[in-house]
A = this chain, B = another copy of it.
Amino acid sequence: MALKLRIMDTIRAESKLFGFQTIGTPALEYADTLLGIGEETDKQSYRFQDHGGRDVGLRFDLTVPFARFVAEHQNELLFPFKKLQMGEVWRGENTQKGRYREFAQCDLDIIGTDHELADSEILALFARILTKLHFGSFTMAVGSRPVLTGMVRKILGIQGDGSEGKISTALISIDKLAKIGEERVISLLVEQTGSSPQACARLIAILSAKDPSGATDLEPIKLLFADDPKLTESLTSLQKIVDGARMGAFGDQQHRDQSQRPTLKIDLSVARGLGYYTGVVFETTIDGLPGFGSVCSGGRYDDLVRRFTDRELPGVGGSIGLDRLVAALEELGLGSVATNPPVFIALVSPAANLYGLSVASHIRAAGFTCEVGFAPKLGAQLKHANRLGVRWAVILGEDEAASATLTLKDLSTGEQWLGISQDQLMTRLCVKSVDP
């Protein structure tokens, strides 16, 4: 929980710098709102009737409640609206390591603009958040739905009736490239689209060709699109978005240690399964956890809110799986949250209790965590302090209360000082807490 709170605090702080506002929506929504998005989500939704006989369900993501929220509050919201939403979602599926039936998501969206600067800002914000979480290096791979769709159409020669369905299926297969490999994706494409094995192999070869930085080699695609101004524009736009994202995330400064610099690159094989993306799509992997999968993904969508309102509200956004991030940080051995150990007040006489509480209030007022011992004997209190990882124990009895002084003990060395004043204690804490 400490780790999850640290992640959530980091997300809030960075989002605030980008001008995002936090919203909250209830866990329970009307079943009508939740259902009908897809067969899988319908099946996985927790649904029941409430005490008033209404069909309700627990949200299975934050996207649908957000769309409902935007439609409902469209006259009060100032567009483009930038929102942060964090909360639990529920899915009735089998659990796996790091995947639970109840888990926390974090969504960041800019809605009400189709400007490519918004795409850059979303990518930059996610990159900032992941940088601030100190995972080590990570890779954000950014693709483009129109570019990829254009390539699939041109190279596989898909046209006419039923081409939309074929292309969707092809995208889902291309999305599996990293998981199942080129050979199997090519067979799937041949089977699904009816295109020639040569054409399918060529598509996959172009998608897999990388320049020295690991990004998709764009030269063959530029050639392919040379006679198509619209697709050329989509490709140029993608490049601008990624250049802007890099600038927004890291400024114009060279990272001192190139190996620690997160990678933000164009990878046209990023397809993303979900149907609603219409522009950039991205996913993010942690370089130190190659098999872990994406920790943060999203893209541009044009009609997410259309289910609830006629108003056109294009947007761009993405999700971080908070519980997955916790699992990732733990797997990297970065799971412990450093906190200053508390100061412990051991009370050896009931006559010192009031004095002890007053000392505790001063220590806390100075910003230090302070624990008060509740056991009757000093030994038991110091044992508890040791278990809490305490270094500084303040021991107070009748004498200390009478003279308004403290006995201070360094539990790490056993050293002890008598007759310390409260001011001397504060000085000691301020100096010692910044010790290496």
User: Residues of A with Cβ closer than 8 Å to B?
Assistant: 1-2, 4-5, 12, 16-19, 21-24, 26-28, 44, 46-48, 50-52, 58, 78, 80, 88, 90, 92-93, 101-102, 110, 113, 115, 117-118, 120-121, 124, 128, 240, 243-244, 247-252, 342, 347, 353-354, 356-358, 360-362, 364-365, 367-372, 374-376, 384, 387-388
Name the B residues within 8 Å of A117 (CB-CB). 347, 353, 356-357, 372, 374
Alpha-carbon gap, A384 to B243, bound state (A): 25
Name the B residues within 8 Å of A369 (CB-CB). 16-19
Can you identify 28 A-B contacts, CB atoms within 8 angstroms? A2-B21, A5-B12, A5-B22, A17-B367, A17-B368, A18-B364, A18-B371, A19-B342, A19-B369, A26-B102, A44-B51, A48-B48, A51-B92, A110-B374, A115-B375, A117-B347, A117-B357, A121-B357, A124-B357, A240-B353, A243-B354, A244-B353, A244-B357, A247-B358, A247-B361, A248-B358, A251-B365, A252-B358
Question: Does B4 lie within 8 Å of A251, measured CB to CB?
Answer: no
Name the B residues within 8 Å of A124 (CB-CB). 357, 361
Name the B residues within 8 Å of A16 (CB-CB). 369
Question: Does A362 lie within 8 Å of B251, measured CB to CB?
Answer: yes
Question: Does A251 lie within 8 Å of B90, measured CB to CB?
Answer: no
| Of the residues B23, B58, B370, contact of A17 by C-beta under 8 Å | B370
| Of the residues B93, B249, B387, contact of A361 by C-beta under 8 Å | B249
Alpha-carbon gap, A28 to B249, bound state (A): 38
Name the B residues within 8 Å of A18 (CB-CB). 364, 369-371
Alpha-carbon gap, A48 to B371, bound state (A): 42
| Contact (A371, B19) CB under 8 Å given A50-B92, A388-B78 | yes
Which residue of chain B has the shortest Cβ distance to A245 in the bound complex?
B357
Between A354, A357, A371, the greatest number of chain B beta carbons within 10 A of the residue's beta carbon is seen for A357
Name the B residues within 8 Å of A368 (CB-CB). 17
| Contact (A364, B17) CB under 8 Å given A78-B384, A90-B28 | yes
The secondary structure that dominates the A interface is mixed
Alpha-carbon gap, A26 to B121, bound state (A): 34
| Of the residues B48, B250, B347, B357, contact of A46 by C-beta under 8 Å | B48
Name the B residues within 8 Å of A251 (CB-CB). 358, 361-362, 365
Name the B residues within 8 Å of A47 (CB-CB). 48
Alpha-carbon gap, A251 to B362, bound state (A): 7
Given pairs A16-B369, A46-B51, 5 additional interface contacts (CB within 8 A): A18-B370, A28-B46, A78-B384, A115-B376, A248-B358
